[in-house]
Chain A
Amino acid sequence: MSRPRSVIDILDLSTDELDALMRVAEDIIAYPDKYAEVCHGKKLATLFFEPSTRTRMSFEAAMYELGGHVISMTDGASSSASKGESVSDTAKIVSCYADIIAMRHPKEGAALVAAQSATVPVVNAGDGGHCHPTQTLADLLTIYREKGGFSNLTVGLCGDLKFGRTVHSLVGALSRYEGIKFILISPEELRLPDYVKNDVLDRGGIQYAETSSLDDAIGSLDVLYMTRVQRERFFNEEDYLRLKDSYILTPDKLRGAKSDMAILHPLPRVNEISVAVDDDPRACYFRQAANGKYMRMALIMMLLGLGA
């Protein structure tokens, strides 16, 4: 039996499709009324097996703004999963109630398992430390709108590059554009995993450098992508406490940066970007959160075959 198209990894989307999604998102931003009834009569199910505020709300807002409805499971602990139901069974059941599923789960690969069983499209809204494609869609639209394109950019990725799923997805997506260069800024213990370096960067012949110093790298960057060191990804609390404050971006640190460098962060932040940076015109992270909603709208439309 053929399954409907799902998006589990950002690489499930071709660069042509990414470009098309960005065009639709920009059109939604310019003409929101045109899209207000596109998903009339359609239902999105949000299945969140681990806590999330912004991703879930962004998906829900996206569906409401397309004129559709939302049904939700917001807490895995009180759901069928707590009674031992498999992800596969949950996906089959929810397919009976909704036209599309957005799912977050703490286990890596859970969204793929759901997509293999569901009879409606599944969008991975984060599977542990593995993939988070719709965050990458938000990141791409933000870079595109702030920098006018992707070619020949030097992108600094800073913080937790080991467990940061948004980083892995972003590296994969940006590597498909010409002349992109990465500066990987992290403590030794949180470096980008070898499989991303080998499979994506080395194989694609992408230029990259690794450093533990943000100060050394910041002057060469067109984009600085900050990440949070996430407590929930560590088995050992001591390791988390030792590494959590490795990089804190302050106005002082920004003095050495280009005047048009774009600062992105997938949010939520804890303290890795000082609040004093928020008023700097280079700070794009709140615009990035808004962009995420528009890209999710475009993606929902595409997967439902509604003209994106």
Chain B
Amino acid sequence: MNIDSIRDGIVIDHITAGCGMKLYELLGLDKLDVSVALIRNVTSRKMGKKDIIKIDADIPVNFDVIGYVDPSATVNIIKNGELLKKLTIGMPERLTNVIRCRNPRCITTTEQELDQVFRLSDRDRQEYRCIYCDTKAN
């Protein structure tokens, strides 16, 4: 399968196979009016299989979302067809307005204007908890 290389934009590489769609949705890429490719189950020497996302536009991307969904993913910033920067994101300490608390008893269910904030509670288990009610993110 051939996907054109991009001139100015972002390539999110080494996404754990199966996580690409979740990342695509949480980054809101479905709402963009630019060329975006989600390639699933690409053969990888290191990983066996991986997903890749290519965004053919110089747009702001919430790196915290990438670190939350797949901290091992890499981000390549492309300028004028050249690799400008290669980044590994890692897990962010806090996530703001990326996911919602599902606890019906949480204050965020009634005070809709509050930011949805989660903190990294356990790095080894890649676990996030709501800062208000301590409920674990799913």
Q: How many residues of A contact B (CB 8 A)?
A: 18
CB within 8 Å for A109 and B106 given contacts A86-B113, A195-B134: yes
Which A residues lie within 8 Å of B121 (CB)? 195, 199
CA–CA, A110 to B114, complex, Å? 11
Which B residues lie within 8 Å of A199 (CB)? 121-122
Shortest Cβ distance from residue B108 to the other chain A in the assembled complex, whole angstroms: 7
Residue of B with least CB distance to A106:
B105
Q: How many residues of B contact A (CB 8 A)?
A: 20
Which A residues lie within 8 Å of B113 (CB)? 86
Which A residues lie within 8 Å of B103 (CB)? 108
Q: Does B136 contact A (CB under 8 A)?
A: yes
Q: Does A113 contact B (CB under 8 A)?
A: yes
Most buried by B among A109, A112, A195: A109
Are A109 and B133 within 8 A (Cβ)?
Answer: yes
CB within 8 Å for A130 and B114 given contacts A105-B107, A107-B105, A198-B122: no
Most buried by A among B107, B108, B109, B129: B107
Residue of A with least CB distance to B104:
A235
Are A88 and B131 within 8 A (Cβ)?
Answer: no
Shortest Cβ distance from residue B35 to the other chain A in the assembled complex, whole angstroms: 41
Shortest Cβ distance from residue A70 to the other chain B in the assembled complex, whole angstroms: 25
CB within 8 Å for A130 and B133 given contacts A109-B106, A199-B121: yes
CB within 8 Å for A113 and B136 given contacts A195-B129, A198-B122, A199-B122: no
Q: Does B111 contact A (CB under 8 A)?
A: yes
Residue of A with least CB distance to B111:
A86
Q: Does A126 contact B (CB under 8 A)?
A: no
Interface of chain B residues 79 through 117 with chain A (CB within 8 A): 103, 105-111, 113-114
Which B residues lie within 8 Å of A198 (CB)? 122
Residue of B with least CB distance to A81:
B110
Shortest Cβ distance from residue B102 to the other chain A in the assembled complex, whole angstroms: 12
Shortest Cβ distance from residue B124 to the other chain A in the assembled complex, whole angstroms: 10
Which A residues lie within 8 Å of B131 (CB)? 109, 112
CB within 8 Å for A109 and B107 given contacts A86-B113, A198-B122, A199-B122: yes
CB within 8 Å for A130 and B134 given contacts A107-B105, A198-B122: yes
Q: Provide 13 A-B residue pairs closer than 8 Å at the C-beta atoms, listed in order of the A residue.
A: A86-B113, A107-B105, A107-B106, A107-B109, A108-B132, A109-B106, A109-B107, A112-B131, A112-B132, A113-B107, A127-B107, A129-B105, A195-B129
Q: Mark B residues whose CB is within 8 Å of A.
A: 103, 105-111, 113-114, 121-122, 129-136
Q: Mark A residues whose CB is within 8 Å of B.
A: 86-88, 105-110, 112-113, 127-130, 195, 198-199
Besides the contacts A108-B132, A109-B130, A109-B132, what 10 more A-B pairs have beta carbons closer than 8 Å? Answer: A88-B111, A107-B106, A107-B110, A107-B111, A108-B134, A109-B107, A109-B133, A113-B111, A113-B114, A128-B105
